[in-house]
Every structure is written in C-alpha cells, then in structure tokens.
Amino acid sequence: MSGQQFGSEDVFTEIPNQSSSVEGVLNLEPDPFMKRLPHRHNRGIPKPTYEPELSTKVKYPMNNYVSNHRLSESNKSFVNQLSTVAIPNNVQEALADPRWKAAMNEEMKSLQKNET
C-alpha cells in the first residue's frame, strides 16, 4: 500500500491481486452475442498488381489519366512505349534484361571513373 498526504487525511490506494482478476478472463467458450464475421473469400489470392503479366504490373497506367487523341501518330507511339517500360523490382530482374544490364554497367563505370 502507498500513502499520499492530502491536507490532514491519508489516502491509501490498493493494487488488486492479479491472481483473482485473471480467473474471469480465461473463459474460452464462445460468446453467443458476439457478431460473426463473414468467411474470407479472398484468402490466398494476391492483388492484381502482383500479377506477372506486364500490363497488370504497371500500378498506374498512363492511358487511364492522359488522352492522346490529339497527338500525331509518332507521338502516340512514343507515349504508348512509355507505358510498356517495366522497372525491375530486384537485381535479378534487372540482370535478365540486357538494356538494364547495360545501364547498370554504364553507371558502375562512371562511379569508378569519378572514384565515388
């Protein structure tokens, strides 16, 4: 017990015995009044952004936000090519693509040249 002085009277606070308060908590029977949640029908199904197909790998496709109906044919093809470039998620994916491999080699050469 601990005492605190408030004016002329002592106020005592008690810490409850933990063994007596735990007995009521260990009731493992289901409560009939609890709300039952629906079955998870999407368990084990990944989100569409994780599909291996390139078109679904792009999180925000440019054609959802930009209209190209007033562009010339050459500019339309350029804009469409921007949406098809996939950025690799790890080094193994980058090394599988010769363009990314060449870009990494070029970056390493310039870092060695600058001694950074």
The SS3 of residue 9 is: strand
Residue 72 lies in a domain: yes
CA 104/CA 102 separation, integer angstroms: 5
Residue 69 lies in a domain: yes
pLDDT, tens digit, for every residue of 62-116?
667 778 788 899 988 887 787 677 788 888 988 999 999 999 999 999 999 998 8
Residue 23 lies in a domain: no
* Statement to judge: residues 78 and 91 lie in one domain: no
* Statement to judge: residues 55 and 71 lie in one domain: yes
pLDDT, tens digit, for every residue of 38-51?
777 777 766 665 55
CB 75 within 8 A of CB 68: yes
* Statement to judge: residues 80 and 113 lie in one domain: no
More confident of the two residues 35 and 22 = 35
* Statement to judge: residues 93 and 78 lie in one domain: no
* Statement to judge: residues 75 and 91 lie in one domain: no
Residue 1 has pLDDT above 70, yes or no: no
What token pair was written down for 78?
Answer: 């350029």
CA 52/CA 44 separation, integer angstroms: 16
What rounded mean pLDDT belongs to the chain? 73
- How many domains are there within the chain? 2
* Statement to judge: residues 81 and 53 lie in one domain: yes
Residue 113 lies in a domain: yes
pTM above 0.75, yes or no: no
Which structural domain range is residue 114 located in? 87-116
More confident of the two residues 34 and 13 = 34
* Statement to judge: residues 77 and 99 lie in one domain: no
